[in-house]
Structure 1
Amino acid sequence: MPSPNEISFQLARSRRSVPRARALLNAVLGDWGVGQETLDSAELVLSELVTNAVRVPVPSGRRIGVRITRSAADGLLRLEVSDAGGGVPEVRQPERDETGGRGLLLVAALAHRWGHEKRAGGIGKTVFAELKAADIVAEPAVREVAAVMVGAGQQVRVKTVWRTVVDVRRDQRAPAGSSVLLRFDDGLALRVTATEPLAVRTVPDCG
């Protein structure tokens, strides 16, 4: 079961993935109680990281991985974008008449810390940025989250009934953005958009 303090998803290598990444980020940070100033900075940083990943030459069929995590104890928000391309990100100092090349300058200015590391379990790299987010809230026992954050083993309130999720499938090909299909232990299935707010709680550990 994924941690309630992190969310991961994949995006196609397309310019349309940049606004989709921002929409999912908005949904996640809204659930986490992040304030507008932090959200604005996170949007800019994630947009630049995803834009760079889209531009990197990679083998056909490869997708972009995005991971967002929070640490309420440390007051940190971490954004990770992975791609299968080679090379390493470098901050450039563009000339005044250049229209591009300032993305990583912006990331470096907004982030508390940023860098890159070898992509876990595959070729390529992961570029990360950590932002100070003192307004991140601790995880409540029952919370309202975007559907894309729900994991197997959690319980979702459907109307007035709590149902246990046994399987989660994400459809990134949906024309209006990704959708999520939730299957429950009683056989019921529910398809919702990735940003649909759902009431969720963790199943008590009886073991």
Structure 2
Amino acid sequence: MSEPYEVKFRLPRRRSSVPRARALLYSVLADWGVGQEAAEVGELVLSELVTNALRVRVPNDRLVEVRIARLVDEGVLRLEVSDAGEGKPEVRKPEEDETGGRGLLLVEALAHRWGYERRACGIGKTVWVELKAPDLVSERDGVEIAALAVRVGQRVRVWGEWRTVRSVGTQQRTSGGLTVVLALDDGSAVRIDAAEPLTVRDAGVSSSPRGREDAPG
């Protein structure tokens, strides 16, 4: 997995920090080419996280830290908000007549994954949320080649995710033609017509046919 690209900033403990965080996120996501739908979800989630951090009972001179990161290989946007408060963020299910308390309930509904952790340096905690953002996986990050040309060590995009090819084999079909069998790093295998295109990246590519073998029919 590639290293995430990231942006970090700090916000004072005042209400104006919520729209400020949204504006900064919008600018960052526009630079990254994130689509409107994913950007709107990200703004909503970040608003809830920053709002919760501002409600924590700590001295006013304590800042709220925000980290925005993109994990391109996974097509994931990661948002982190850190505060100096103790306690554990918990999802509440408020009564119908309650006007608040639905922030984390909304975050949980929108998130691909979320959680919290104690800050490694300093006091307080970090609440993080990962959101699916398919636009982060750019077309320029890969090229299309015929399945027969795939080599061991390359990264191939299958089932919406990037996987490393561990071995490449071929099978002769009884009806004629050739099937390519790719063994992947997660233990799965892909069988595909030799002429079908696959999107690949080079990552420790073996340029020789080493690792290719004829698979049993």
TM more than 0.5: yes
In the alignment, which residue of structure 2 is the partner of 1:86? 86
TM-score (structure 1 length as normaliser): 0.64
Residues 163-198 of structure 1 deviation map (CA, whole Å, 9 limit, x = unaligned): xxxxxxxxxxxxxxxxxxxxxxxxxxxxxxxxxxxx
Per the TM alignment, residue 77 of structure 1 is displaced from its structure 2 partner at its CA by 0.4
Q: Distance in 1 between matches of 2:80 and 2:139?
A: 21
In the alignment, which residue of structure 2 is the partner of 1:111? 111
| Bigger-Rg structure (1/2) | 2
Distance 1:78 1:57, change over 3 A: same
In the alignment, which residue of structure 2 is the partner of 1:133? 133
Q: Secondary structure at the match of 2:74?
A: coil
User: Aligned AA for 1:117?
Assistant: E
Structure 1 stretches of 4+ with a deviation exceeding 2 A read 137-140
Q: Distance in 1 between matches of 2:50 and 2:92?
A: 17
Q: Which structure 2 residues correspond to residues 43-192 of structure 1 after superposition, within 5 A?
A: 43-138=43-138
Q: Percent identity?
A: 69
Distance 1:127 1:4, change over 3 A: closer
Per the TM alignment, residue 59 of structure 1 is displaced from its structure 2 partner at its CA by 2.9
TM-score (structure 2 length as normaliser): 0.61
Q: Give the paired residue count.
A: 138
Residues 17-47 of structure 1 deviation map (CA, whole Å, 9 limit, x = unaligned): 0000000000000001000110010011000
Per the TM alignment, residue 4 of structure 1 is displaced from its structure 2 partner at its CA by 7.7
The answer to whether the aligner puts 1:13 opposite 2:13 as a matched pair is: yes
Does the 8 Å CA contact 1:34/1:137 hold for their aligned counterparts?
A: no
Q: Which of the pair has the greater relative contact order for Cα pairs under 8 Å at 6+ separation?
A: 1
Q: Distance in 2 between matches of 1:75 and 1:64?
A: 26
Q: Distance in 1 between matches of 2:60 and 2:100?
A: 26
Q: Distance in 2 between matches of 1:88 and 1:43?
A: 23
Does the 8 Å CA contact 1:4/1:139 hold for their aligned counterparts?
A: no
Q: Distance in 2 between matches of 1:4 and 1:86?
A: 28
The root-mean-square deviation of aligned C-alpha atoms, in Å, is: 1.7
Gaps of 5+ in 2: 141-217
